[in-house]
Amino acid sequence: MITALGGGVGAAKFLEGLSSVIESEPLNVIVNTGDDICLNGLYISPDVDTIIYRLSGVIDKKKGWGLEGDTFNSLKALERFGLHTWFNIGDKDIATHIYRTHLRAKGFSATEITSKIAEAFELPSNLKIIPMTDRDVETWIQTSEGEMHFQEYLVKRRMKPEVCRVTIRNIDHASPSPGVIDSIEKARAIIVCPSNPIISIGPILQVKGVREALKATQAEIIAISPLVGGVPLKGPADRLMKGLGLEVSSAQVARLYSDFIDTMVIDVEDAHENQAIKDMGLKTLVVDTVMSDKKKSAILASSILELI
């Protein structure tokens, strides 16, 4: 069994390649839920949905999130009622959020709901998507213009306000969901996807017992930097790292994980950081990490599997 930790567009792309090269070996994906938001009464779990949509082949490839060929008529119609319309929920995508909200009202947990959604999208049976916790947690960003939900910062405010602090609300009460610790303890390898270290991987590491389990596991742990040439290909990793007073580099990403990973994978454009990462006592792999298509993410996944 291989276990992956991730969230967002970069993780989904990498997992698409990984799932194509592992054949039928079980792959458990522990997914960030800090990006979750309740808008207009609907519960949305963007990272979980992005990974399910990508792995079941229905993702909007151009955007990297949402469903291929979706339209936005219902969103437009909501304007009449003065509801939130800044978060682009498509007409087909909304069905997933209605289903999640319906199941929550019936008392199902995030883990149960995620597995039902994955089943409905006919995810291959060796792939298991596990939300990091069944607790409701939310990532909030303190900025120069006040505190706001991460999605508001990312989508509504287009990452414009300056970041001062990141808080994962309710994380102190978050226990790992069933299967999380087991997936870490029993894996032959664990891959930290090329996801934002602050708001995608960071929340997973803050769930009670997860970091300790990663330190204790016998599994080989390999992390992939989401930075290429010192910048993220998508998203606010650089702004968040800078805002928290961290150097924006793959070496810094490695430093954030150095207490539990064995190997750091960095892009060829960041090869000059190789020695600094080795000096932390880590192994390194310097390869092309830009996943411009499924073939390239499969090549990246294969080169990582060769390390195991």
Q: How far is the CB of 271 from ligand FO1 (least distance, A)?
A: 27
The Cβ of residue 281 has, within 10 Å, a number of other Cβ atoms equal to 8
Q: Please give the residues from 204 up to 233 whose contact with ligand FO1 meets the rule CB under 6 A.
A: none
- Selected range binding ligand FO1 among 46-54, 112-120, 220-228, 289-297, rule: CB under 6 A: 46-54
Pick 50 or 252: Cβ nearer ligand FO1: 50
Judged by CB under 6 A, does residue 66 bind ligand FO1? Answer: yes
CB of residue 49 to ligand FO1, shortest distance in Å: 4
Q: Do the beta carbons of residue 254 and residue 264 sit within 8 Å?
A: yes
Smallest distance, ligand FO1 to C-beta of residue 35, A:
4
How far apart are alpha carbons 125 and 228 in whole angstroms? 33
Give yes or no for residue 7 binding ligand FO1 (CB under 6 A). Answer: yes
Is 8 near ligand FO1 (CB under 6 A)?
yes
Q: Write the interaction track for ligand FO1 spanning residues 234-273; mark x where CB under 6 A is met and - where it is not.
A: ----------------------------------------
> Which listed residue (16, 35, 60, 273) binds ligand FO1 by CB under 6 A?
35
Stretch that binds ligand FO1, among 47-55, 163-171, 241-249, 276-284 (CB under 6 A): 47-55
In the window 85-144, what residues touch ligand FO1 (CB under 6 A)?
Answer: 87-89, 93
CB of 5 to ligand FO1, least distance (A): 13
- Residue 43 in the binding site for ligand FO1 (CB under 6 A): no
Residue type, 83: L
Tally of CB atoms within 10 A around 82: 7
Cα angle for residues 266, 210, 220 (degrees, 5° grid): 45
The separation between the first and the last C-alpha atoms of the chain, rounded to the nearest angstrom, is: 12
71 contacts ligand FO1 (rule: CB under 6 A): no
Q: Which window, 76-84, 106-114, 125-133, 149-157, contacts ligand FO1 (CB under 6 A)?
A: 149-157
Contact predicate 31/131, CB 8 Å: yes
| Residue appearing with tokens 């803050």 | 206
By CB under 6 A, name the one of 78, 155, 256, 280 that touches ligand FO1: 155
Place of tokens 């102190």: 172
Are 8 and 237 spatial neighbours (Cβ–Cβ below 8 Å)?
Answer: no
Q: What is the DSSP string of 177-235?
A: PTTHHHHHHH-SEEEE-S--IIIIIHHHHHSTTHHHHHHH--SEEEEE-SEETTEESSS
For 263, phi then psi, to 5°, come to: -135, 140
Q: By CB under 6 A, name the binding residues for ligand FO1.
A: 7-9, 35, 44, 46-47, 49-50, 65-66, 87-89, 93, 151, 154-155, 200
